[in-house]
Each structure stands twice: as C-alpha cells, then as structure tokens.
Structure 1
Amino acid sequence: MSRVIVLSGGVSTEHAVSLASGADVAAALEERHSVVSVVIDIDGTWRVEGHAVDSPDEVLDEIDSMDVVFPVLHGGWGEDGGLQAELDARSIRYVGSPAAACRTGMSKLASARAAASRGISPIPVRVLHRDRFLADPDLLTGALARSADLPLVVKPDTGGSSVGVSVVRSAPQLRAALDEAFLLDPVVLLQPLVHGQEISIGVWTDDAGSMHATGASLLHLPDGEAAFTYAHKYEDAGGWLEIPARLPAQQLAELQKVALETAAAVGVEGLARVDVFATEDAILLNEINTMPGLRRHSHFPRLVAASGTSYDDLLDSLVRQVARTRAAA
C-alpha cells in the first residue's frame, strides 16, 4: 500500500472538470491505498483535506520518497509540464508522463509535429500569433476571411475540453472566434473542418510496463452539429460516444498503431488519449491528451473498461507501477 497524494483543481479553464476527476480518483484509490486529497483553488490556494495551507511548499516538503503523487490536473501548470518539473526537482514520484512529454502534449502544434516525425499525418494547420492579431485585428481578420476556405475550426493551441474551440461557417463569425481563442492562448490554430469519423483510442501502461492501445470510441453528434463541444461533454447537450466502436478489424489495427506511435513520439508514460479523424483516404491526428478526464465514467476510463480493465484496477495499476519502477531521481 502506498500513500497517494491526489492533486486536483488548478488554475485553468478545466478547473471544474479536474475537481470531478480528482474526487472519483481519490474515492477509488482509498480502497487500496492511503489517500491525501489536495485541491488547488482557482485562485491558486492549496487545500489539504479541505484546509488551506500557506504555500505549495508546505505540501510538497512533506512528500517523501515512498509517496506517489497522482496529478489529476487538466490544463495549465498541472498538465503542461510545470508541476512535473517541480516534482522531478524534488525527486518526488508521480503518475503520468514526464515534464517534456507534458509540454509537447499540451501543445496541439508541438504534438502534431512530433507525431509527423514518425509518419503520422496531422490535420493541416495555419498558425496565428496574438501579437500580430492585436496589432490590427480588423486587418488580419479581413485577410483571413478572404483567403480561408470556410468552414474552418479556430482553437487555442493549448487547453482541452473543447474550451475556446469554434466552428466558423461565415466571415462575420471569424472575429468573435479569434477574440475568444486569443483570450486563452497566445497561439491560435486554424484548421479545415474535417468530415470523417471522430475516433479516440486510449493508451496505457500495464503492470508489466508495456504500452497498450484500447479499442476505439466513435463520436455521434446531433444532426447538423459538426464539433464535440464542452456542452456536449459536460452539459448534456446531445451527442454520444459509441464504446467500443464497431469498426472493421483492419481499420482498428491501423488506428491503434497511430495512437501508439503518437504516444511514443510525444514520450507518454502511464496513460493518454489520442483523438483522430478517419476519412476515406487517411487517419488525421487531432490531438493527444496526456492526462485525460478521469471521472469514473469519463471517456478514457470507459475505453479501458471496454478493453477489460476496470476503473479501480486501472488506477491501482498506475499507482503501483510508479511505486515499483520509477525510482526517485
């Protein structure tokens, strides 16, 4: 049995999602481990079992070489490698990918480039920078509206849960979409709206240390809707995930290969979810999530469960792997 420090919350747009994940993770691990729940408020205050502490150091200084941190943090410092670098500097063991992989995975652009180095095709992208946009928003928006093929997708380079993602179908919608995305990130991506199957594959490390790919999920959206939004995911706005997706064996094998290659290119350890679009001609990488949602009935745990490993066993395995194999630096 290990002492596990479950971190959730965080200063990011995915704060509420992380809290929900952290609560379920802590409850599941309590059956087999000694769990300490640490919540980071949206203002940055750290709370241990509900009690505020003066600084994060007060928590981190008490973590010893036998403990395991489970950072159930989505977005921001908790998922972009900042926390992981701090834990590495303190020789603290943790579940999930190392700092470099988190930095790459957090950036849709960086992860696409990493995957492309292994022959994986990403969605074509045009990159915009906030400083150029702010210099003359009307000029840049007008130029894009004249040159871009609509519809297109506007999204922040970092972040998740579809926050700040817009489908633009007309020139007047473009300015609002750019304004929203640039509020969240200094780098914004413009991509064509891909017409194809939206599919996800989970990857995770088993007790023997081998990385495996799950079966697939297939997204079904309400008629007339083109993108899986935050509302679809968390506010019951329609849309559902077919898990496991009924796909031809050869197609599934190709999808699993893409997922494993993408995870290897990014440097994933422990767990991740890889999202792609499958068209008639290609499999196109959308993004990778190095700390996917971990509520008991979230997308990633459902993928793993459909492959034969329960939620409780998945979390226990991830903790035991770290306790056994990732020696403190």
Structure 2
Amino acid sequence: MKVKLGLLYGGKSAEHRVSLQTALAVTKALDMNKFDVHPIYINDQGAWVRGGQLTAPAQDVKALELSKGENVISPVSLNKELFPANQSGEDQSIDVIFPLLHGPNGEDGTVQGLLELMNIPYVGNGVLSSAAGMDKVIMKNLFAQAGLKQAKYLSFIRKEWDQQKEELMNSIEEKLGYPCFVKPANLGSSVGISKCRNRQELETACVEAFQFDRKLVIEEGIIGREIEIGILGNDEPECSVAGEIAPKKDFYDYKAKYEDGDTALIIPAELSDAQYEDLKEQAIRAFKAIDGAGLVRADFFLTSNGEFLINEVNTMPGFTPFSMFPLMWQHTGISYPELIEKLVSLALERHEQKQSIKHTF
C-alpha cells in the first residue's frame, strides 16, 4: 500500500523561494513506487492550492507554483475523518504531510498546530520545538538552561529601538563589540542578517532587519570554524557525521546558500574522535532542550581553544542540492530517498504514540 504523502511548501514568508527550491529537490528524490505524491502549495498571500497527484518529479520551480485557479482548498479538507471523499466519491485525504516550509507561518509551529488540531501526521518537529527553534532568543534561553555554551548576545524589540536607539547601540558596543551580527529573531536562511564592523553599519543593519521581524538578536562575532551536525529520530535521536562550512565570503549568507553555491562544504569535518563525541553529546542535548522530533540540524562554532559554542538549531533544514543536512546523512550511509522514507516513518511513529494518550478521565 502506497503512502499518500502531501508535500506542503511555499508559505507566506520571506523564505517562500527557499521552500520552493526545497520542494523541487524532494520531488526529484521521492520514490513514486512507494508514495502517492500530492503537492499542496501555500502562495505568498497565504492561499492553499492543491495540485494533482505527481506521476513524475517536478521539472522546475515554476511547475510547483500552482495558480489559485487550480484548486484552492481549506486545510481541513485534508482530514480523512472530516472529509473522507469529494462529491465524486474520490478519497481526498492525506496519510502524512511533509511540511517543506521555512520561516514564519510554516516552520514556527503555526502549521504544526493546525495539523495537530486536524489530527494529521506530519514530518518533523511539533508545535513547541518548532516555535522555540524559530525564535532565536527563546532558543538561546533554552540552551542556557540546558548548560550549553554559546556566544554573548543581546535582544530588543522595535519599540525599544525607536525609543532608545543610542542607548542600545552603546550597550551593544560595550557588551559585544565589533564585529557583531544583527539577525531577525524569527527568520532563517540568513535572510536579513548583517555583519557589522562599526556603528554606522550597526544602525543600518538594525533598520534592515526590522523589516523582517519586530524583534532582533545581536550576537558577538566568534572567530572559529563553522561545524554542523544532523540529528534524526524521536525519543532516541542519532547523529550524522559532522560537516564544516568554509564560506569564501565573510559569512554564509543567503546567496552563498541558495544561489551560487560559493561555499565549500567539507564532509566529514576534520575532528578528533573526542571532539566528535563532544559535538554529538551537545547536539543531542540541544535537540532535547527544545523537545525535538524527526529532524534537526545543529550549528556550532569550534573556537581556536577547541571549545564548541552552539549557534542555533534549524528545525526544518533545507533539502536543496547545496544543503548540508541531506549531504551529512548521505556520508553517514543514508541516501536522500532513504532519508525521506525515514522521516515519514518517524512521523507516523510519533503520531501513533500520540493516539494512545487519554483525553478523558
């Protein structure tokens, strides 16, 4: 029996284009003999459009940008208990959803909450872990509680910036110094991130970042190697080999990630056995700190004195041809198609466990 897999992609987010690239790569990797693949596109205005079942991989991103004239749906129509069939008697339900969404309104727990309410299995992290993984400030607070070492940081909201800009910049210079990094608190894929070397760049970067979020996080610049590791599983997570990012630019920005591939990805990263064991332990601790499920990519800095500092976790890492997460698992021995099958299996496993929870007493 084939699994009816819904690919949910697009989204009302600044990372809409990234999601489309991820969805394209996944369609090319799926085994159509094992899955009935149903594209579900959320356009940049938030409308849900369901396409016809795919019989072959999508040829390009444009093929995945479904028009509103095709089949605009209500998300609840995906629930097999509420909508077992359409007027013609055809079963329209989905067995499991793969949310290939990046950023707000997709990776932040909102869609996960909707799927929970509809009792539909879905790949990846739940509401809490998705929300915590999206908000860099909440994430850092949880890491601190878990005893994970990280770079110094400050955070503030737009209202505070408007009222006390000079005081905030003074505080950044005093506590973090230059260079520092300005980031929207609730965004990924390096969107809106700037490296600042002086006050003028700092002010410009904050104004730019506030276009994408009401809250910013400012981090001290760390001199060190950028090391990443993949985590896969539910209650018993396992780690991939480590990878290292060696950007040819100042930092791993959006263009390097998704457009020109102008970055060296070193897999496996050159680490001692002791360093790798330390990295795995910290990565799994971070996974558990956010109550992760399914998959997470954990990003670290390795300083010159051999100390790992956690930077962040990504609860829905990209699956593009340049993406580190599937490449690390490929080098670990799990191919791209096998990785997708494993993630679907983990989603169904977690959903089955939830069905045993009592809701009355």
Q: TM-score, normalised by structure 2?
A: 0.84
**Match in the other structure for 1:53:** 72
1:134 paired to 2:153? no
Which of 257, 260, 273 in structure 2 is aligned with 1:233?
257
Name the SS for the 1:78 alignment partner.
Answer: coil
What is the one-letter code of the residue matched to 1:288? Answer: V
Which stretch shows the higher mean deviation, 177-186 or 139-148?
A: 139-148
**Cα offset, 1:237, TM superposition:** 6.3
Task: Give yes or no for contact 2:77–2:93 (8 Å, CA) kept in 1.
Answer: no
Task: Give yes or no for contact 2:232–2:295 (8 Å, CA) kept in 1.
Answer: yes
1:216 paired to 2:218? no
Aligned residues: 324
Task: Give yes or no for contact 2:231–2:240 (8 Å, CA) kept in 1.
Answer: yes
Which of 22, 35, 38 in structure 1 is aligned with 2:37?
35
Which stretch shows the higher mean deviation, 314-323 or 1-10?
A: 314-323
**Cα offset, 1:28, TM superposition:** 2.6
CA distance in 1, matches of 2:71, 2:93: 24
Deviations 1:65-120 (A, max 9, x none): 87101101001121110111111111111111110111111111212221222221
1:267 paired to 2:291? yes
What is the one-letter code of the residue matched to 1:160? Answer: G
Deviations 1:250-293 (A, max 9, x none): 11111111111100111111101000101134211111000100
Name the SS for the 1:300 alignment partner.
Answer: helix
**Cα offset, 1:297, TM superposition:** 4.6
Contiguous gaps of at least 5 residues in structure 1: none
CA distance in 1, matches of 2:27, 2:260: 25
Which of 143, 163, 185 in structure 1 is aligned with 2:170?
143
Task: Give yes or no for contact 2:76–2:118 (8 Å, CA) kept in 1.
Answer: no
Of structures 1 and 2, the one with the larger relative CO (CA 8 A, separation 6+) is 1
Query: Identity across aligned pairs (percent)?
Result: 32
**Cα offset, 1:54, TM superposition:** 5.0
What is the one-letter code of the residue matched to 2:293? Answer: E
Which of 52, 67, 91 in structure 1 is aligned with 2:95?
67
Which of 139, 151, 160 in structure 2 is aligned with 1:111?
139
Which of 273, 289, 293 in structure 1 is aligned with 2:318?
293
**Match in the other structure for 2:61:** none
**Match in the other structure for 1:102:** 130
**Any residues of structure 2 matched to 1:84-103 within 5 Å, and which?**
84-103=112-131
Deviations 1:117-155 (A, max 9, x none): 222112111112111112354x34653575351111111
Contiguous gaps of at least 5 residues in structure 2: 52-65, 85-91, 356-361
Which of 317, 322, 341 in structure 2 is aligned with 1:316?
341
Q: TM-score, normalised by structure 1?
A: 0.92
RMSD over aligned Cα atoms: 2.1
Deviations 1:187-210 (A, max 9, x none): 11111110001110000128xx63
